[in-house]
Amino acid sequence: MRRVLPSIPDGAAGQNWFTHTANLASQRPNFTQQARSTVFLDTTTGVLVHRQQTHHLSLGAATAAEILSAVFHTVPEGVERIYVTAGDPWHRDADRYPYLRDAVAAWLNAPAPGWRTDTGRGRDRMAGHFVHARHPVGRYQQENGEAHVEIRSVGEWFDADGDTPATVRDAFVLLWQALRRHWPDAVVMGSPSQTGRDLWTRTIPTRGQYAEGYPVPSEELRGLLHATAGQGRTELLTPPQVPEQLPQLVEYDRTFAYAKHTWKSPVGTPRRVTAQTFATWSEKEQMRALYGCGHWQVRVTVPDTWNHVGILPAPAPGERAWHYPAAPGTTFTTWAGGPEIHTALANPIQPWKIEILDGILWDDGKPLDDWAKKLKETWTNLTAQAHFHGATGQARAAHLASRAVRAILLYGIGSFAQRPRMVTGTTPRTHEGDVPADAEIIGFDDEQITWQKPTGFSRDPNAHPEWAAAIWSGARAALLTQRHREDNIHAGALHTPPGSVIAFRTDALYLTGPEPWPYHHQPGDYLRKGHLPGPVTAPTTEEELLTLRDAGRTALAQSAGEA
């Protein structure tokens, strides 16, 4: 079934969308974040690291109750955050449940004598468990005491592939020290998105136009952006679009990609640009608008002689699913950001036909520039430490810390997008017809069905989906074409021979051969991460692609070692 994207209503009803939410703005905080007492625990070996001390715990089956009991017995002065570095205890009984989320929910909600689910405290409104298949958060509160504690996965921050709790702790210490060079009051919070958003609020100017904060767009515009601004491009091209036998498979990944696209962002009260208004503008005015911070509803036609990958996202069946039509002569209607529209009109092969149907145009501003520059400098510093440090353990910790900075920026940007709130409920299997029509079924057993449904947006003062949408659009466009000024070279999918692009995966391109693209260790540069010599059977599923990706990374590492 074809998914139809929403449009802005005509007349006064639509014009009412172009406002800000009353009394809601992103403002600089007037308080200092409090650090949390944190420990690092490998639930497979029972090794616990607290400050410079290493302990060995007996965890039994590593239930939440056993973890809390063992940790609080070992660290009697109290712990507020437990990072699980290995073991994924919430997956222990996964084979007993139809969905991984069900196993995680059961682990989080199992009885823990002396503890109950946390209800939040003070400024910290984070309450209740967060059920996630891979990186859940358990929040517990002591029944007869003051203790509040989180159990979290360190995988939210980086992939701790066999790293000891001590190395992981060192990484967090290095991260905190590096952030403090730019933010004297920096605190590493529970997740990268929380940390990123908190650090950003501490860059909101104290003087000038936005000293009172950045107003939050209307709920209607936030809803439109949620429905029409996708994130990373994920696409697998299969035969006959590509050869059945590939000469080789080369993986290129854009280093710290989103950091390249934060220098300009939408600010101010947006204005509507209707098709009629756009048509009255001169070509110069039109191009200036498309270069600016805008989000456009367009009717697109692929050129009759087009023989390369698609450029613009179109709605595909399924919630928030997108595909990239490339068949010659195809016409479709979609929404897209200025960078992608500009790429369609001025790509290195031939222009596409674009008809502007409607648009949202903001002023150009720099609300994220200071924040992103500081994070880029932090990342550069830690990357250099990882490269040049003589001690293997400290070099690895610095590498993990640099990955954590990437996560802070990546998930910080994602948190601006603000998804609609979800409510979860259950319905007896005997009353299946009572499941709400707009609900998604997320689990079931013999007795009941578990479902979730959106309930609109919360009053989040840091909801700025217009910023996330602009960055995502810029990143997708740069996967197709970007210029390296210092080398006077263009890179990206549209600069490869037709039929040579195998896949896109957010910041990565998979090609049938190497390209002479420069790499200067700068955000946005294409790094060759894998190279699998051929012939290689073309992947037809994501699982096959990931298997080949891993083999290509191994092969490249081996050839580099031999060299």
230-254 pLDDT per residue, tens = 889 999 999 999 999 999 999 999 9
**What does pTM read for this prediction?**
0.89
> In this prediction, what percent of the chain has a pLDDT beyond 90?
78
CA 552/CA 532 separation, integer angstroms: 4
pLDDT of residue 182: 97
Q: List Cβ<8 Å contacts ≥24 apart for 283-288.
A: 286/356
Interacting residues of 446 by C-beta distance below 8 A, sequence separation 6+: 429
Tell me 154's DSSP state: G
Encoding tokens for residue 497?
């021979």
pLDDT above 60: residue 337: yes
Question: For residue 498, which of 310, 332, 338, 321 has the smallest C-alpha distance?
Answer: 310
* Residue type at 240 in one-letter notation: P
Of residues 347 and 441, more confidently modeled? 347
CB-count exposure of residue 506 (10 Å: 0-12, 13-18, 19+): middle
401-414 pLDDT, tens digit per residue, is 999 999 999 999 99
What distances in angstroms separate CA 153 from CA 86, 328, 468, 514, one per listed residue? 8, 46, 25, 36
pLDDT of residue 20: 94
Q: End-to-end CA distance of the chain, in Å?
A: 52
pLDDT above 70: residue 300: yes
Average pLDDT value over all residues in the chain: 91
pLDDT above 60: residue 126: no
377-435 pLDDT, tens digit per residue, is 999 999 999 988 767 889 999 999 999 999 999 999 999 997 665 556 667 777 777 77
CA-CA-CA-CA dihedral for 319, 324, 325, 331, to nearest 10:
70
CA 140/CA 143 separation, integer angstroms: 9
Most confident range, picked from 111-120, 137-146, 443-452, 532-541: 532-541
Mapped onto helix, strand or coil, the DSSP state of residue 514 is: coil
CA 254/CA 354 separation, integer angstroms: 28
pLDDT above 60: residue 124: no
What distances in angstroms separate CA 268 from CA 210, 363, 557, one per listed residue? 9, 6, 48
Q: Are 90 and 110 in contact (CB under 8 A)?
A: no
